[in-house]
A = this chain, B = another copy of it.
Amino acid sequence: MSPSKKYLFTPGPAPVPPEVLLEMSRPIIHHRTPEFSAVLDQARERLKPLFGTKQGEAILTASTGTGAMEAAVINLLQPGEQAIFVNGGKFGERWGKLLSTFGIAGHEVKVEWGRAVRPEQIEDALKANPNARAVLVQASETSTCAIHPIAAIGEVTKRRGVMLIVDGITSVGVFEQKMDEWGVDAFVTGSQKALMLPPGLGAVAMSQRALDTAKSNKTPRFYFDLLKELKAQRDEHTTAWTAPVSLVFGLNKSLELIHAETLPRVYARHQVMAEATREAGKALGLRLIAPDNPAPGVTGILVPDGIDGGKVVKFMRDTLGVGVQGGQDQMKGKLVRIGHMGHLSPFDMLVAVSAFEIALAQAGAKINHGVGVAAVQARLARSI
């Protein structure tokens, strides 16, 4: 088959709308000009509702999401300090690695892959480690397709007066986030997910408490000095270092499209895609990795025993032209992850599920062709 028209359902990078690609093709301008400042200011303002913040400051960095995660850690925590991190997947584990790299004692709250952390676990960890200054967690753990209850965790961190640092890379712009209400201090995101951009741009939204903390923070930092960036971006309407001009053009256009669709509709669209895919999995007799707390941005379906999930993913990509992602680490070969982020219509889930069915059958699974696709269709029909 191998058609020349490809589909991309990886949970980042995600498809970029043609309007955004064209906007990014605009001739380059210098980043210290009134023209650029106008775009930067507008993009930063347009970002805020996606974080759910009025007070917070959205600070852009020329980096991928991991760079923005590092920025949050090194601006808010310093060597010798302690922090709690939730490790329920590959990205939670990354918080732990970042903490230990920068000399911060990280107390791990271990969560089974696919499960959500329980707020009591956070409470217990904070009781056991009363000197911990922050809790670091994913709003949506991309590796396990599960979400963590940030609102409830925020209740705990507020009560105990510690900072809350959240990786929102597959939650910001995907479903409703309430930074101010939840008491998030640093909210990290990246360009290549719901922001519908190529990778290469990170953002960190910071609360006033986070900015105050950063002021006295002694961790050495230069490129990712968020106070320097904020001063440049808020006061001088440019970036501290050379701006990734094209990506900022693209971001502003992408946010224009998002707000034109309206956030509630964007969120509902992701939800319909996620539910349609889950129902397809169920109809095919398959299990979800995160049945109780599935992420709206990406659905993880476990392949049947005896089937090599890696081969399914490879067949989908190489023979069918449909990009999805497999499992990482302990889930390698067992999981297929289908993303719902980026420039996607709910109808695209027909394609994703159809390719998944065909690849499963090809790999030797017993599949009643069309059962999954029909489940997608049924869910779409209910969303009219």
Contact residues in B for A361 (Cβ distance below 8 Å):
none
Measured CA separation A33–B67 after assembly (Å): 22
Measured CA separation A131–B33 after assembly (Å): 44
Stretch of A81-89, A98-106, A209-217, A279-287 with 4 or more beta carbons under 8 angstroms from chain B: A98-106
- Is A64 in the interface zone, CB < 8 Å from B? yes
Q: Is the CB–CB distance between A200 and B244 below 8 Å? A: yes
Closest Cβ–Cβ distance, residue A31 to chain B (whole Å): 7
- Is A199 in the interface zone, CB < 8 Å from B? yes
- Is A27 in the interface zone, CB < 8 Å from B? yes
Q: Is the CB–CB distance between A66 and B241 below 8 Å? A: yes
Q: Is the CB–CB distance between A13 and B25 below 8 Å? A: no
Stretch of A15-23, A114-122, A373-381 with 4 or more beta carbons under 8 angstroms from chain B: A15-23
Stretch of A45-53, A220-228, A293-301 with 4 or more beta carbons under 8 angstroms from chain B: A220-228
Contact residues in B for A327 (Cβ distance below 8 Å):
none
- The listed residue (B14, B30, B201, B222) touching A101 by CB distance below 8 A is B222
Q: Is the CB–CB distance between A64 and B242 below 8 Å? A: yes
Closest Cβ–Cβ distance, residue A32 to chain B (whole Å): 8
Measured CA separation A25–B28 after assembly (Å): 14
- Is A155 in the interface zone, CB < 8 Å from B? no
- Is A143 in the interface zone, CB < 8 Å from B? no
Q: Is the CB–CB distance between B27 and A246 below 8 Å? A: no
CB-based nearest B residue for A5 = B27
- The listed residue (B24, B28, B29, B220) touching A102 by CB distance below 8 A is B220
CB-based nearest B residue for A247 = B200
- For A64-80 the 0/1 string (1 means CB < 8 A from B) is 11110010000000000
Q: Is the CB–CB distance between A221 and B101 below 8 Å? A: yes
Question: Which has the most chain B C-beta neighbours within 10 Å: A28, A98, A200?
Answer: A28
- Is A150 in the interface zone, CB < 8 Å from B? no
- The listed residue (B16, B67, B222) touching A223 by CB distance below 8 A is B67
- Is A206 in the interface zone, CB < 8 Å from B? no
Measured CA separation A135–B20 after assembly (Å): 43
Closest Cβ–Cβ distance, residue A75 to chain B (whole Å): 13
- For A221-243 the 0/1 string (1 means CB < 8 A from B) is 11110000000000000000111
A6 with B27, Cβ < 8 A, contacts A200-B247, A242-B192 known: yes
- Is A8 in the interface zone, CB < 8 Å from B? yes
- The listed residue (B10, B24, B65, B97) touching A24 by CB distance below 8 A is B24
CB-based nearest B residue for A323 = B30
Question: Which has the most chain B C-beta neighbours within 10 Å: A31, A97, A199, A323?
Answer: A199
Contact residues in B for A13 (Cβ distance below 8 Å):
28-31, 242, 245
Q: Is the CB–CB distance between A317 and B14 below 8 Å? A: no
Contact residues in B for A101 (Cβ distance below 8 Å):
220-222
CB-based nearest B residue for A325 = B30
A222 with B28, Cβ < 8 A, contacts A64-B242, A67-B241 known: no
- The listed residue (B97, B223, B246, B323) touching A29 by CB distance below 8 A is B323
- The listed residue (B8, B33, B66, B323) touching A242 by CB distance below 8 A is B66
The 13 listed contacts between A and B (C-beta, < 8 Å) are A6-B29, A24-B198, A28-B192, A29-B323, A31-B199, A64-B244, A66-B222, A66-B223, A98-B222, A102-B222, A103-B220, A198-B244, A199-B244
Binding site for B on A (CB under 8 A): 6, 8, 10, 12-16, 21-22, 24-25, 27-31, 33, 62-67, 70, 97-98, 101-103, 190, 192, 198-201, 220-224, 241-247, 317, 323, 325
Beyond A15-B28, A62-B67, A63-B67: 8 further Cβ-contacts under 8 Å?
Answer: A8-B27, A8-B29, A21-B24, A28-B192, A63-B223, A66-B223, A70-B222, A198-B246
